[in-house]
Every structure is written in C-alpha cells, then in structure tokens.
Amino acid sequence: MPKSNRLTLSTPRGGQYQVELSDGTKVWLNAASKLHYPREFLDNHRTVELEGEAYFEVSSGKHRPFIVKTKNEAVEPLGKHFNVTAYINEWLPYVTLLEGKVSVSLENERSKILLPGQQSAVKGAVMQVNEINVAESVAWKNGEFMFNKESLGSVMLKLSRWYDIEVEMTDGVKDLRVWGSVSRYDTFDEILQVIKAIDDSIHFEIDGRRVKIMK
C-alpha cells in the first residue's frame, strides 16, 4: 500500500482498542499489538497486517477479498467473525473461527479451511486444526481471562501484557495447569490469589513491576 495511505494502530501493554476500517470492517486490538492498514482500500483486495492479537468482524465484499497477514500466515475470511493471535516470538500463532469460514495458508503449505469452533495452530512449518471452546479465545474481547487447563507459563504471558509487568518463573512452575475465569479489570493481586488457590505451594516475590514465581 502507498505510504501516504498507510496507517498503524498500536496498543500499549495494558491497552485495548477498537477501530472501524474504511470498508466497515470492525477490529478489536488486544494489548501490545499493532495493526497496519490503509486509510482507504484502493486495490481489488483488502489487506491488513497484524502483530499481536485482534478480533475481526469483516464487512461483506465478495469481489474484494479481505486478507490478514501475519509473520507466518495469510488469513482470508469466507465468513465474518474470527480471532487471530500472532505475537512475535511468543508461543504459537492461532486463528480461531466463530462464524462463517476462513482460509488459513502458510508459505510452504496448502491452505486449510476452518469451520466454526475450529482453531489452527502453526508450529514450525506445520499447521494443525483442532476443535476448541471458542469462548476461551475471545474472552479478552469481553473483558475476561478464561483459562482451561492452560499452562502457567502461557497464562503469565497474557497477564504480563495486560498488567505491564515483567515475570520470572523458576523450574517446575511454568507447566502447572490453570483453570478458571476472572475479570481483566481485577487487580493483579486478585489474579495472583486465584493462581495460588490452584497450588498453595506457589510463592510470589513482587518488586515494583517485576514478579518472581516459585515453589
């Protein structure tokens, strides 16, 4: 896209934002994310670029496909509602479909079609598709953290982005499993108490914005 037509929406750690694109598509951007998009879609396709996490409600436009590009993937919705998680250097990139269909493609692999309730995950150069509870993937958009036997390491990555903290974890802690649902607007101390309730041998050391978790 021409530089004069290129815009970037960036959310800080602890931030969240909603934007409506020129074609009427609505995008919710999660914390510590960037969306590159045109001021106006001028080509025969509508392409945006994402770093981080975003939820999309795509407006209709059969003759101008909508494409979300990430570092690893190209996501083309054939429906409307979907969530893309693509934080740089963090865990696996995911695409979660709520309504319609989406085509997810990798550079060296044939595209795969997702149906509602399915999620693609890319590990290395391989894409897997699984059935999931989509409510967990989009809980952030509705102001919640929702965990279903998720590793504590993964949980703390999400918390660190939202509460703008730095986390250190000792051996044997990252793989502990966390479940439950809490508000994103609870204090960090309240969240820690939920985690401690899972295993009361967990201890925390807090120094300003730095948190150490150990057993």
Segment 16-67, tens digit of pLDDT: 999 999 999 999 999 999 999 999 998 889 999 999 999 999 998 767 899 9
- What are the b/e assignments for 93-122, b being 16+ CB within 10 Å? bbbbbbeebbbbbbeeeeebebeeebbbbb
Confidence of residue 200 (pLDDT cuts 50, 70, 90): confident
Q: For residue 108, what are its two tokens?
A: 């060296």
**pTM over 0.75, yes/no:** yes
| Contact status, residue 204 vs residue 53, Cβ threshold 8 Å | no
**Quick one: residue 81, left, alpha or beta (phi over 0 = left, psi -120 to 50 = alpha)?**
beta
**pLDDT for 1 beyond 70:** no
- Residue 91 confidence class, pLDDT cut points 50, 70, 90: low
- Distances in Å between the Cα of 106 and the Cα atoms of 59, 114, 124, 214 are 24, 14, 10, 38
Distance CA 134, CA 116 (A): 9
Give residue limits of the domains in the chain. 3-136, 143-214
Confidence of residue 97 (pLDDT cuts 50, 70, 90): very high
Identity of the residue numbered 131: E
pLDDT for 28 equals 98
Q: Which two tokens stand for residue 52?
A: 């981080």
Res 187: pLDDT: 93
Average pLDDT for 157-186: 91
User: What backbone torsions phi and psi does residue 29 show, to the nearest 5 degrees?
Assistant: -105, 125
pLDDT of 107 reads: 78
CATH of 143-214, one of 3.55.50.30, 3.30.465.10, 3.50.50.60, 3.90.1150.10: 3.55.50.30
> Is the per-residue pLDDT at 148 higher than 90?
no
Q: How far is CA 163 from the centre of its chain?
A: 16
- Same fold for the pair 3-136 and 143-214: no
Considering only the top CATH level, what class is 3-136?
mainly beta
pLDDT, mean over the chain: 90
